[in-house]
Amino acid sequence: MADQRFFRLRGPFSLAELASLADARLEQGDASKQIRDVAALDAAAEGHVTFLDNPKYTDQAKHTKADACVIRQDMIECLPSGVAALITDEPYRGYARIAAAFYPDAAEPNPLQPALAGIAVGAVIDPDAEIGDDCQIASGAVIEVGARIGARCRVGANATIGRGVVLGSDCVIGPGVTLTHCLIGSRVVIHAGARIGQDGFGFALGPKGHVKVPQIGRVVIEDDVEIGANSTIDRGSGPDTLIGRGCKIDNLVMIAHNVRLGPGCIVVAQTGISGSTEIGQGSVLAAQVGIAGHLKIGAGTQFAARSGVMKDVAAGQTMGGAPAIPMKQWLRQVVALNRLIKRRGVEE
Amino acid sequence: MADQRFFRLRGPFSLAELASLADARLEQGDASKQIRDVAALDAAAEGHVTFLDNPKYTDQAKHTKADACVIRQDMIECLPSGVAALITDEPYRGYARIAAAFYPDAAEPNPLQPALAGIAVGAVIDPDAEIGDDCQIASGAVIEVGARIGARCRVGANATIGRGVVLGSDCVIGPGVTLTHCLIGSRVVIHAGARIGQDGFGFALGPKGHVKVPQIGRVVIEDDVEIGANSTIDRGSGPDTLIGRGCKIDNLVMIAHNVRLGPGCIVVAQTGISGSTEIGQGSVLAAQVGIAGHLKIGAGTQFAARSGVMKDVAAGQTMGGAPAIPMKQWLRQVVALNRLIKRRGVEE
Amino acid sequence: MADQRFFRLRGPFSLAELASLADARLEQGDASKQIRDVAALDAAAEGHVTFLDNPKYTDQAKHTKADACVIRQDMIECLPSGVAALITDEPYRGYARIAAAFYPDAAEPNPLQPALAGIAVGAVIDPDAEIGDDCQIASGAVIEVGARIGARCRVGANATIGRGVVLGSDCVIGPGVTLTHCLIGSRVVIHAGARIGQDGFGFALGPKGHVKVPQIGRVVIEDDVEIGANSTIDRGSGPDTLIGRGCKIDNLVMIAHNVRLGPGCIVVAQTGISGSTEIGQGSVLAAQVGIAGHLKIGAGTQFAARSGVMKDVAAGQTMGGAPAIPMKQWLRQVVALNRLIKRRGVEE
């Protein structure tokens, strides 16, 4: 069971309820049986539901002590008899929904002040800011003139929301976040210390001194986006910087001015995207990737960790290396390099 | 026009005034004509001034609807007749100055509390700190004993300025910034969440435990420096860490103890410079570069994005790759690697 | 002498006292002689103690004006006559202990409010939080319900310590830090802006939208750990994220959910460790390293800066490159690549 100091356990839920939550079909089990917690395959005990998603863990599944398992139809035979099967094509997704039912707080990234109703005494809210119904604003948060916060938003301690910033409903803004010059949709999660909307890195360079170019665009963040801790997204220079609906961005990511991320992109930790580059819908950038400026990356592209992208990439490609090349070529490059050393070794 | 919630539009300005601002010569236009906004070549309309800097956009220039364009003499023929030309050798620099006149707030990176005069009720200022004339100190800012803040500085919400820190005049300190053990010049801009002056990463390593080495230097930041969001600059171990006049540092950059940056360097996002390295005046480090410790990098060197620098570099070189080598060699290395794969492909 | 605005000089100390602090043997000196400050070899003057650790600086040692030097037995002859020798096998470690005696504040990374006794007026502490004896809690710090802070902890301005978080004794939490869902040992130092305990980057990906997977583990940080400015450590998905005793982590480091660092690891700036990877005791990860997820890295491994690690690594290896290979092979790879260019140059 998760640590009760941090996570409140709900439930129990019947197998029928879990099947419904996971959009799964119950097999080999009593629909009314009560399940009281989630656990990993090897940690699960009586009364627990677990899941099998990765074939690598089939052996663990064979010995699980769980009462139920979210699983694909074609892997069902590895479950011990007596373990109820919750069958779905997407077990990880099903597990996610079940775990969120048991631990609703854990799916909310900022449960700093669960007891808090309304606005903390130490929050500083401009009289000309609009705060929606049922918002929670923690101590030390500063909300400036003209900001508009939708219903049920939660703003963490010492966060600052600048003049004119707009948030939709049900957003979670972590502690210490800074938002300026941005328009944010609904159900957006921004983790602690992220910086959104500061002016982009625009200078007219020269030996007489570098002159700052005013950045008069905004950051527009669509619905259901999540942005990781200490990440930075600069506002546009004139056009906006755009983060499309449902994008998930990890910690310490840098997104420069005028970048446009299509819907549903995944950007893993410490990746950087240079100015004015466009990334197509559903692309995946693994950790520590770097993408140069003014590029067009097609929809559904995937970049291996540490890719260094210097050219446009057509839709649907999988790339790796620096400079990034198609994944198959990159893997051959790695092999070729290793051979080169061996041959040299013989020659020397 | 930029979003009025975030940017206040000033003006209009006559073409004569714009020419003066941009240090340009007016041609093909009526000096008294009033211009009311800036816009990009393809977005501009009547009453707008635009600019052409990159030959790549010559086609857009041919169809611009702007009333005026900042441009070099040798590109002037691509402007439609009737478009006034503001001629200068540095159009981007000229545009920067004009845009700053139309949008003075945008050139100031911390306009969180434009209505604020003086010191917010929620700011916490030690009685033994000195605050210069006409400063703005936002709510939640904490200024410690012995700190000295020059005239017209603006300190953002929840920023902390430690004991004894000195700021010159006209500095802008973003929300949530931490300054300790540092001396800062005038007109310095530090964006949200930057951390300046914490002790460097100095340990005497050993199997009995790693012992912290006291860091008794400072960070010295000269005039006209800009430091990006969530960047970190550690104080020196005994010598100071030095950021020379006019350096521009982007987001999420790491500068270790005892580093010395000469005047006018550009350091792009996510770059890291290891301890005690010296970078000569006017060098440019593109994004995600890494530079090892105790190196000497000559003046005017340029590093391509993701360069990994392991040796000293003489002045004026352009480098790329990891380990970094002269750019020409690096480009040939990339070509050679690609050929290697192809040949291997035939062999296999 | 260090800048008195930031560092308070203690002492003087006799050579006998310094020998005791450094666990060194005094030779060539008067044990009662008073020493009043530390300085580098080339900056030292009368009344100063210095150290020689790196043979590279032997020439500086020959001309030092210091009155005493912490040094190894086998280098003692390079000291000018009259310089007292404090002999130890670990001079840098000895110097660290002596410098900490002269400058005790400098060894404490958060001396923002040295005059502060107890809890600042502007701190916000939940009545159901427990604060140990002799703690210092700075202005704007927010401490939530159920948090337990051990004796003599110092919490910086505008830091937030979430519900149920536990800290041992003698911890230093920098300004603007966020702690949630974590259990922290004693003598732990967390620098400004670090984010500990936010939920890991777990999503069930899919074209219908990415579903957040609740993260119900914690971050467990053992005794004597140090974590750098603006670094991020995500909490576990079910298992905990674990930082072993005595680990030292630099700035802007990313540690993902479920990672386990053995005791005494060194992680240099801008390195990232992906989810569920285990790093053995005493390993050293230089700057900008990336380690993929679900790997096992043996004890005492060393990674050169910018290594990209994609496979398990056995204990005691030294690795470099991306993908990382044993250091010797990597160095040969670099040489082979350079030759390849030269040969191609001849052919073309």
| Residue B182 amino acid letter | C
**Interface confidence: ipTM more than 0.90:** yes
Confidence band of C85 (pLDDT split at 50, 70, 90): very high
pLDDT of C116 reads 55
A254 vs B109, B112, B251: nearest CB: B251
Going by the DSSP 8-state scheme, the letter that residue A80 receives in this structure is P
Q: What is the pLDDT of residues A271-314, one digit of tens each?
A: 999 999 999 999 999 999 999 999 999 999 999 999 999 999 99
pLDDT of B89 reads 95
Tell me whether A216 touches chain B (CB under 8 Å). Answer: yes
Q: What is the pLDDT of residues B125-147, one digit of tens each?
A: 999 999 999 999 999 999 999 99
CA distance A198 to chain B (A): 6
A211 vs B96, B250, B268: nearest CB: B96
Tell me which of A112, A232, A338, A344 to substitute to probe the interface with C (most C C-beta atoms closer than 10 Å): A112
The phi, psi pair for A272, rounded to 5°, reads -130, 135
Average pLDDT score over residue span B21-40: 94
pLDDT of C29 reads 87
Tokens 């107890």 belong to C118
pLDDT of C348 reads 36
A337 vs C176, C216, C333: nearest CB: C333
B6 vs A158, A181, A205: nearest CB: A181
Closest CA to C10 of B181, B214, B209: B214
Q: Which fold has domain C13-102?
A: 3.40.1390
Tell me whether B162 touches chain C (CB under 8 Å). Answer: yes
Interface contact C230-B199, CB threshold 8 A? no
Confidence band of B347 (pLDDT split at 50, 70, 90): very low
pLDDT of B206 reads 86
Q: What is the pLDDT of residues B233-242, one digit of tens each?
A: 999 999 999 9
A229 vs C198, C207, C272: nearest CB: C198
Closest CA to B146 of B160, B123, B163, B161: B163
**Does the pLDDT of residue C109 top 70, yes or no?**
no
pLDDT of C210 reads 93
Going by the DSSP 8-state scheme, the letter that residue A140 receives in this structure is T
C-beta pairs of A254-258 under 8 Å, 24+ apart in sequence: A254/B250, A254/B251, A254/B252, A254/B269, A254/B270, A254/B287, A255/A231, A256/A200, A256/A201, A256/A293, A256/B269, A257/A199, A257/A200, A257/A201, A257/A202, A257/A215, A257/A217, A258/A200, A258/A217
More confident residue, A168 or A55: A168
Q: How far apart are CA C79 and CA C87, in angstroms?
A: 12
Report DSSP letters for C181-199, one per residue.
Answer: SEEE-SS-EE-TT-EEEEE
Q: Which residues of A are less than 8 Å from C176 in CB distance?
A: 158, 176, 193
In CATH, the architecture of A180-348 is 3 Solenoid (2.160)
Tell me which of A211, A235, A268, A289 to substitute to probe the interface with B (most B C-beta atoms closer than 10 Å): A211
Q: What is the pLDDT of residues C6-63, one digit of tens each?
A: 898 999 999 999 999 999 999 988 999 999 999 999 999 999 999 999 888 899 999 9
Q: What is the pLDDT of residues A1-48, one digit of tens each?
A: 789 888 989 999 999 999 999 999 999 889 999 999 999 999 999 999
Interface contact C270-A268, CB threshold 8 A? no
pLDDT of C117 reads 64
Closest alpha carbon within chain B to C175: B178
Interface of B with C in 258-287 (CB under 8 A): 270, 272, 274
Average pLDDT score over residue span A322-335: 93
List, in sequence order, the alpha helices (H) in B131-179.
none
CA distance C245 to chain A (A): 21
Tell me whether B244 touches chain A (CB under 8 Å). Answer: no
Q: Which residues of A are less than 8 Å from B115 in CB distance?
A: 145
**Does the pLDDT of residue C111 top 70, yes or no?**
no
Q: Which residues of C are less than 8 Å from B267 in CB distance?
A: none
How many Cβ pairs closer than 8 A exist between chain B and C?
202
Closest CA to C197 of A110, A104, A224: A110
Interface contact B112-A160, CB threshold 8 A? yes
Q: Which residues of A are less than 8 Å from C290 in CB distance?
A: 270, 287-288, 305-306
How many Cβ pairs closer than 8 A exist between chain A and C?
202
Percent of chain A with pLDDT over 70: 95
Q: How far apart are CA A101 and CA A110, in angstroms?
A: 17
Interface contact B3-A140, CB threshold 8 A? no
Neighbouring residues of A143: CB distance < 8 A, sequence distance ≥ 6: A123, A124, A125, A126, A129, A131, A137, A149, A155, A160, A161
Tell me whether C245 touches chain A (CB under 8 Å). Answer: no
Q: How far apart are CA B105 and CA B116, in angstroms?
A: 14
pLDDT of B348 reads 36
Q: What is the pLDDT of residues C244-298, one digit of tens each?
A: 999 999 999 999 999 999 999 999 999 999 999 999 999 999 999 999 999 999 9
C287 vs B162, B195, B274: nearest CB: B274
Average pLDDT score over residue span B207-235: 95
Show me where the domains of chain B are located: 13-102, 180-348
**Does the pLDDT of residue C114 top 70, yes or no?**
no
Q: What is the pLDDT of residues C301-339, one digit of tens each?
A: 999 999 999 999 999 999 999 999 999 999 999 988 888
Average per-residue pLDDT in chain C? 93
Tell me whether A254 touches chain C (CB under 8 Å). Answer: no
Interface contact A113-C163, CB threshold 8 A? yes
Pairing relationship of beta strands B13-14 and B34-35 according to DSSP bridges: antiparallel
Tell me whether C336 touches chain B (CB under 8 Å). Answer: no
Closest CA to B267 of B243, B286, B246: B286
Q: What is the pLDDT of residues B39-94, one digit of tens each?
A: 999 999 999 999 999 888 899 999 999 999 999 999 999 999 999 999 999 999 99
Structure tokens at B162: 């430690």
Closest CA to C130 of C144, C142, C118, C141: C144
pLDDT of B125 reads 95
Inter-residue contact B299 to B314 (CB < 8 Å):
no
When computed from its CA atoms, the radius of gyration of chain A, rounded to whole angstroms, is 24
Closest CA to C163 of C190, C141, C139, C182: C182
Neighbouring residues of C150: CB distance < 8 A, sequence distance ≥ 6: C132, C167, C168, C169, C170, C171, C186
Whether residue B63 lies in the annotated active site: no
Structure tokens at C274: 């992906």
Inter-residue contact B106 to B37 (CB < 8 Å):
no
Average pLDDT score over residue span C341-346: 58
Interface contact C337-B333, CB threshold 8 A? yes
Interface contact B138-A140, CB threshold 8 A? no
Confidence band of A107 (pLDDT split at 50, 70, 90): confident
Tell me whether C167 touches chain A (CB under 8 Å). Answer: no
Percent of chain C with pLDDT over 70: 95
Tell me whether A9 touches chain C (CB under 8 Å). Answer: no
Q: Counting Cβ atoms within 10 Å, is residue A63 exposed (0-12), middle (13-18) or buried (19+)?
A: exposed
**Does the pLDDT of residue C347 top 50, yes or no?**
no
Average pLDDT score over residue span B267-290: 98
CA distance C179 to chain B (A): 16
Neighbours of chain B (3+ CB pairs under 8 A): A, C
**Does the pLDDT of residue B108 top 80, yes or no?**
no
